[in-house]
Amino acid sequence: MSWHKVKKAIRRLFFGRSLGGEIDPDEIFLDASNLPQFDTHQFEGRLERPISRGTFFWVVAIFLIIGFVFTGRLWGLQIKDGDAYAKRSERNRLEHTTIFANRGIIYDRKGREMAWNDLNTLGDYALRTYAPVSGIAHLIGYVKYPAKDKMGIYYEDRFIPKGGVEEYFEEDLSGENGLKITETDALGNIQSESLLTPPVDGKNIELSVDMALQEKMYSLIASTVAERSFIAGAGVMMDIHTGEVLAMTSFPEFDSNVMTRGEDDAKIKEYLNNKNNPFLNRAVGGQFIPGSIMKPYIAMGALQEEIIDPLKEILSTGQITIPNPYDPTKKTIFKDWRENGWTDMRRALAVSSNVYFFSIGGGYDGQKGIGIDNIEKYTKMFGFSSLTGIDLDGEKEGNVPSRSWKAENYEDGEWRVGDTYNSSIGQYGFQVTPIQALRAVTSIANGGFLLKPTIVKGNRDIQKKSEFISSPGEYWRILREGLRLSVTEGTAKGLYMPEISVAAKTGTAELGASKSMVNSWVMGYFPYEEPKYAFVVLMEQGPRANQIGATSIMRQLFEWMYAYTPDYVK
């Protein structure tokens, strides 16, 4: 083929026929004269159609698009995300591994382990384990383990504390995780390991509680709930000089080991569906109507205001009557729990005379009362409606009745003398936590020091944080003698024991309009002559007819203490 034909073929290939405009006859016609010159097996001599301009355009466009995409992707990988991919590549080569710190061990006051760490052969961190003892769950709390994603990478590289000591003292218990770097080759083989940051284990904590005593208190509360149809209960005991809590328990409770492991779905569901809320620490977070355990503080208010001689006797015939504020032709009756006869202040505390406290609280039959404003003042002076400051989360403030409280919470917000009467016996407007009741009765035992409770042994800052209730020593003596008389002759006679001298005050708080259910309280201290410890037990919502309640629990606990922990009661 001549050079002239070659050039035409090239032009036709790239530009089609329109560029040339000419067609040689020998490009079209194949005859006998030229056909033998072509190799038909190689498609020679075959008429070819030139590439159109449209086809050429799309071919070029496709190549350009591919080029742009490739260039853009290359820019993204190399420029925009280059650092990130470089780091990822580095991580693939250098693996960073968290070395989990061990949490601090929690001990009771006698050195017994309440929470510790067990070896975990299948994981990267130790297993948190709790003593298999009833009654400590609310105090200790539990933890949730570090969590991995599907790729095995920890998105949560610490223990998550839930309640109790575990949460409140998290900063001390947790420690600091360490970091290890492992270098691998392209096949994943370890080339070297280097400890970048060593872990720092958490600090151990020694609590002030006696685990055995706490377990016994819990078991007595639990059995009384089951046998006497209460729904729940709580108990606390405290050193009246240091504020150290010797025992604190709440029923019902959960199992810290079950919650930490998270494997027993049925048990966890049972906890969550329990209407009596086993996750509520009633000792610090439960708010209850206190009833007659408020009477000593009303008595102190009357002494401070000098409205009555403590030796003056007031007659209780079983009730008092006043005109009905809505219908003066009718009488409103306020009942005593029995006819208590003539009682002075000490005996009124001992037998828990409602009529006596109606009289000094709201005034009656010529006896002036301190009134609601002073009831508010003096009960707040003993720490009610305030946080105690105990080193646990979840504490509640409770409530003290007042004119403003009623105005804010009731459509008919006018305060009446009947409200004052009911407040004088702890039946109206009060909401009290067991730890508040314990703190208040402790101040009676120690002569006016309102301590900040602590669950840590040897916490020397507590005395600095105590408050002092300024009141004549004689007033404190009157209250103490009244509480001792309650044990020897009055409503707390169930706590009379030759071996242990106890001073106490009981309370039976009526619930609801029908008053068929009650909260059963007992508070006090021991030994009476040289007090060391104060206590409070609450039994929540049991039948009014019950003769067995909080006082019975403390009686059984004292008997156990005398046999197994005599140092506490002597």
Domain regions of the chain by residue span: 3-76, 95-206, 211-568
- pLDDT tens, position by position, 520-566: 999 999 999 999 999 999 999 999 888 899 999 999 999 999 999 99
Q: CA dihedral defined by 286, 291, 295, 301, rounded to 10 degrees? A: 70
Q: Please give the Cα distance from 512 to 270 (Å, whole number).
A: 28
pTM: 0.82
Q: What is the pLDDT of residue 545?
A: 85
Task: Give the residue with greater pLDDT, 192 vs 386.
Answer: 386
pLDDT bucket at 148, cuts 50 / 70 / 90:
confident
Identity at 494, one-letter amino acid code: G
User: Which segments of 418-469 are extended strands (E)?
Assistant: 449-450, 467-468
Does the structure show a pLDDT above 80 at 25? Answer: no
- Which residue(s) pair with 542 in the sheet? 518
Least confident of 8-12, 164-168, 321-325, 475-479: 8-12
Q: What is the pLDDT of residue 35?
A: 52
Least confident of 44-58, 150-164, 300-314: 44-58
Averaged pLDDT score across all residues of the chain: 89
Per-range mean pLDDT, top range of 15-24, 47-56, 74-83, 213-222: 213-222
Q: What is the pLDDT of residue 237?
A: 99
Least confident of 61-70, 80-89, 362-371: 80-89
Burial track 17-34 (b if 16+ CB lie within 10 A, e otherwise): eeeeeeeeeeeeeeeeee
Q: Which is the CATH superfamily of the domain at 95-206?
A: Penicillin-binding protein 2a (Domain 2) (3.90.1310.10)
Do domains 95-206 and 211-568 share one topology? The answer is no
Per-range mean pLDDT, top range of 55-59, 195-199, 203-207, 457-461: 203-207
Does the structure show a pLDDT above 60 at 414? Answer: yes
- Which residue(s) pair with 456 in the sheet? 207
Please give the average per-residue pLDDT across 191-200, as a whole number: 80
Does the structure show a pLDDT above 50 at 287? Answer: yes
Q: Please give the Cα distance from 286 to 138 (Å, whole number).
A: 12
- pLDDT tens, position by position, 486-495: 999 999 999 9
Closest by alpha carbon to 442, among 350, 570, 534?
A: 534
Please give the average per-residue pLDDT across 106-111, as a whole number: 98
As to burial, measured by CB atoms within 10 angstroms (0-12 exposed, 13-18 middle, 19+ buried), residue 59 is exposed
Element (H, E) at 226: helix 211-228
Q: Please give the Cα distance from 477 to 483 (Å, whole number).
A: 10
Q: How many CB atoms lie within 10 A of CB 307?
A: 17
Q: Please give the Cα distance from 535 to 237 (Å, whole number).
A: 4
Closest by alpha carbon to 317, among 359, 350, 349?
A: 359
Structure tokens at 398: 């409770």
Q: What is the CATH number of domain 211-568?
A: 3.40.710.10
